[in-house]
Amino acid sequence: MVARVIPVSPFDLVIFGATGDLARRKILPGLFHRFRVGQMPEDAAIIGAARSQMDSGEFRALVGAALEEFVAEPDRTPETIAAFLSRLTYVHVDAKGDAGWDELGAALRADTTRAFYLSVSPSLFGSISKQLSTRGIATAESRIVVEKPFGHDLETAKALNADLLQAFDETQIYRIDHYLGKETVQNLMALRFANSLFEPLWNSTHIDHVQITVAESIGVQGRGEYYDQSGAMRDMVQNHLMQLLCLIAMEPPSRFEPNAVRDEKVKVIEALETVAPENIVRGQYRAWNGKNDYRGDAGNPASRTESFVAMKLAVANWRWAGTPFYLRTGKRLRARASEIAVVFRDPPHMIFPKMEGRKGNALVIRLQPDEGITLRTTIKEPGPGGMRLTEVAMDMTFADALGSDLHSQDAYERLIMDVIRGDQTLFMRGDEVEAAWAWADPIIAAWEDGNQQPAAYDSGGSGPEEALMLMHQDGRRWRAIGA
Ligand code: NAP
């Protein structure tokens, strides 16, 4: 089956920060892919905006080099790159001053969807949105896209929301969490809400526990200064892991529509019980096997920032009372591997005698490196020799049946096209982000007040011993990272 591509309406997309790392690595290559497969209409225009002085020709050369670096060979030809670059222009704009705004306004067409992607530091969100609004560059139909980090705590997140809301309505604001753009994350919603098979089992009667792991093999080198002010809790848990938890735990929305979905996600965050200190483990990687320690990478010899967090959470509602959610994320772990595992309870009565070592049913949603969904099932081992049981992982993504080209779309590509279509379902609403900070803030404050030292763990391992104990003490175990 070949991927169905429905072109979006014509648009003018302005990328603030178009010369920056994120634009060159993700946004512009993502747009190139949408162009290549025919989703970008003929008269779509992309306008790069940044502080550097350059003309459109120089900008195209910069983007051309980025495409050669970040788009794999079979997906690009000199002709497709040239055709894509012909859609690009550049305007030098100073977010903090007056330069460039008139030129930017003049570059936009009337009666064409306008989207402004702020791929810049959040400290510029307020001034850019104000300029766009007061100069009449943004219309009531325009969309504004903002990147993470959305705040450092509840107070700063509220201030960012207030800045954006001065110039835009909530229905125009698209807060990106690229985990929501992943194919399998959306497939999880399809599995849950488009089948009658799973939803009756989706509760504490049938689900023993849920594990969410986002493991990275790299350290913080290159981002050390930023990361040391942030830590794993702010950088990963408050946003990405929280979003994944919400999608697993939420009630079925009445419609697959932005506010219906986001209302249900907010309810999950609000239902989280206060986490007892013994249910949280913070870790920091130490030197091992020729690799630096965290403090060396972060350039802060006395740092107490966590590069790892594991926690056990309880969602206090009828559906989930009695089913713990275990979350863990960290840097310099044994592999880059992210997954959600929904682990089902054992059958109430076992009729087969030889069941030792059997792991039970688990629905595993793998986000990276290879996206996919599998259902671990127990079956009879084929062939003669009596009733021997074995486990198989059923592929629930059906890549072979549906065609692998369906799975190549990057999260950024999908989300940018949703912005153009005006679909906010996969973007975080302001109250959702604030609820997540309201949950995270007291946990972080307790660490800071207690001057707590994170537990050390070896680079390239599975995290601190204490994180393993978090599950062992409950008679459970983490799935192996990258298994
Ligand atoms: P970056 O490489 O430092 O790029 C920043 C961009 O902002 C540059 O294009 C820069 O223009 C522009 N800029 C700075 N000051 C400006 C001003 N006064 N007026 C107009 N433009 C200005 O940053 P980045 O890594 O791309 O990150 C951009 C945003 O995305 C940040 O909020 C970051 O936290 C977030 N983010 C990044 C990543 C990532 O992988 N990089 C991932 C997730 C989120 P000049 O270069 O021309 O000065």
Q: What CATH number does residue 215 fall under? A: 3.30.360.10
Q: Is residue 342 part of a domain?
A: yes
239-296 pLDDT tens trace: 999 999 999 999 999 999 999 999 999 999 999 999 999 999 999 999 887 778 999 9
Rounded distance from Cα 200 to ligand 1 centre (Å): 45
Residues 308, 457 contacting (CB under 8 angstroms): yes
Same domain for 115 and 223, yes or no, is no
The total number of structural domains in the chain stands at: 2
In the chain, % of residues over pLDDT 90: 81
Q: State residue 407's pLDDT score.
A: 42
Residue range(s) defining the domain that contains residue 393:
180-409+429-472
Average pLDDT over residues 181-200: 92
| 38 φ, ψ (degrees, to nearest 5) | 90, 15
Same domain for 205 and 348, yes or no, is yes
How high is the mean pLDDT of the chain?
93
Same domain for 189 and 241, yes or no, is yes
pLDDT of 397 strictly over 90: no
Query: Residue 463: left if φ>0, alpha if ψ -120 to 50, beta else—which one?
Result: left
Catalytic residue from among 178, 240, 349, 407 = 240
Give the least confident one: 32-41, 142-151, 397-406: 397-406
Same domain for 308 and 206, yes or no, is yes
pTM, two decimal places: 0.95
> What are the tokens at 174?
């698209």
For residue 200, give every residue at least 6 positions away whose Cβ sits within 8 Å of its Cβ, in sequence order, or none: none
| 170 φ, ψ (degrees, to nearest 5) | -55, -35
Same domain for 109 and 184, yes or no, is no
Same domain for 201 and 137, yes or no, is no
Same domain for 142 and 184, yes or no, is no
Q: State residue 404's pLDDT score.
A: 55
Q: Which ligand 1 atom sits nearest the alpha carbon of residue 23?
A: 26
Q: State residue 353's pLDDT score.
A: 75
Residues 446, 277 contacting (CB under 8 angstroms): yes
pLDDT of 72 strictly over 50: yes
Q: Which residues line ligand 1 (CB under 6 A)?
A: 16-23, 50-52, 93-96, 119-122, 124, 147-149
| 184 φ, ψ (degrees, to nearest 5) | -70, -30
Whether residue 240 lies in the annotated active site: yes
Q: Specify the CATH number for the domain of residue 17.
A: 3.40.50.720
Parallel/antiparallel/unpaired status of strands 337-344 and 325-330? unpaired
Please identify which residue in the block is written with the tokens 């807060």.
175
Same domain for 328 and 384, yes or no, is yes
Average pLDDT over residues 180-194: 92
pLDDT of 356 strictly over 70: no
Q: State residue 99's pLDDT score.
A: 94
Ligand 1 pocket test: pick from 120, 131, 238 the residue with the most ligand atoms within 8 Å of its Cβ: 120
Which residue owns the Cα nearest ligand 1 atom 38? 22
124 vs 379, more confident: 124
Same domain for 21 and 129, yes or no, is yes
Which residue owns the Cα nearest ligand 1 atom 21? 50
Angle, alpha carbons 249-442-126 (nearest 5°): 85
Ligand 1 pocket test: pick from 15, 28, 51 the residue with the most ligand atoms within 8 Å of its Cβ: 51
Q: Is residue 190 part of a domain?
A: yes
Same domain for 246 and 359, yes or no, is yes
C-alpha–C-alpha distance, residues 414 and 407, integer Å? 11
